[in-house]
Amino acid sequence: MRFDVFTLFPEVFDPYLETSILKRAIDNELLEVHLHNIRNWAADKHHTTDDTPYGGGGGMIMKPEPVFAAVEAELGYPPDCPLILLTPQGKPFNQNMAMKLSEQPRLGLLCGRYEGIDERIRQHLVSKEISIGDYVLSGGELPALVLIETIARLIPGMLGDPKGAADDSFASSLLEYPHYTRPPTFRGWEVPDILLSGNHASINQWHRKQALQRTLKRRPDLLTKADLSQSDIEQLYEIIRNTKLEIPNEIKEIIKK
């Protein structure tokens, strides 16, 4: 899979792309990330990429010409793959979107900077706008890395363990169960006995129950989207009974079905 990133700060990507799983994916030719510095397409001698907004107001706005020139030079016009603008005004990013996007062979990512971008870039160049959360960063570079890593993890062959991505929190709409490794006792705190039992059926049941319990306590909203079996619903009942939790309305809805 190939990403073409359009940014004013290509240098911030390198250290992250040269580390761990993304580096391995690039070395193994499963992933290509091409960085394009928008400033290289600014035509004036000062390489200007921003200007003051028409109508006044604070801040500077990304000029359309260098962005259009950069994208057209790399992707053509109209762009021959989706071009995603990273912006807090975009659709909130989630694992489902990552899964759909991972089916694309190539994606363009446009990183905004300054107070905003000229609206004509949005209207005539960008095909999708994505936000990584309801907070404002100084630019789209970190969000672009978030997208690259989340999507790249889903490329077949990316993770050593083929089950790796499927087990992640959110892949099944449940949060992950707690994990432990050696030593079995650390500062007097013990690993739950069941995990040392070698009984895989019981361990799987324990994992499922822990995942249900965590999701119920921390993110009950996710349970409405989860693929729950009758036994999951019974477990949820039991957890609610034993912990005297208020039953969230979302769960009442599920149990009614």
Residues forming contacts to ligand ADE in the complex (CB under 6 A) are: 86-88, 112, 131-133, 135-137, 140, 143
Catalytic member of 168, 178, 208, 220: 168
Active site residue 29: no
Rounded least distance, CB 182 to ligand ADE, Å: 39
CB of 121 closer than 8 Å to CB of 81 = no
Rounded least distance, CB 17 to ligand ADE, Å: 19
Strand partners, 7: 37
CB nearer to ligand ADE: give 114 or 170: 114
Rounded least distance, CB 121 to ligand ADE, Å: 14
Containing 56, the helix (H) or strand (E) segment is none
C-alpha 68/C-alpha 48 separation (Å) is 14
Rounded least distance, CB 87 to ligand ADE, Å: 5
Catalytic member of 115, 129, 149, 250: 115
CB of 109 closer than 8 Å to CB of 84 = yes
CB nearer to ligand ADE: give 115 or 250: 115
Active site residue 232: no
Active site residue 88: yes
CB nearer to ligand ADE: give 137 or 245: 137
Q: What is the 3-state secondary structure (H, E, C) of 112-147?
A: CCCCEECHHHHHHCCCEEEECCCCCCCCCHHHHHHH
C-alpha 147/C-alpha 142 separation (Å) is 9
CB of 83 closer than 8 Å to CB of 77 = no
Active site residue 14: no
Cβ neighbors of 142 (< 8 A, separation 6 or more) are: 132
Catalytic member of 53, 64, 82, 88: 88
Kindly list the catalytic residues: 88, 115, 153, 168
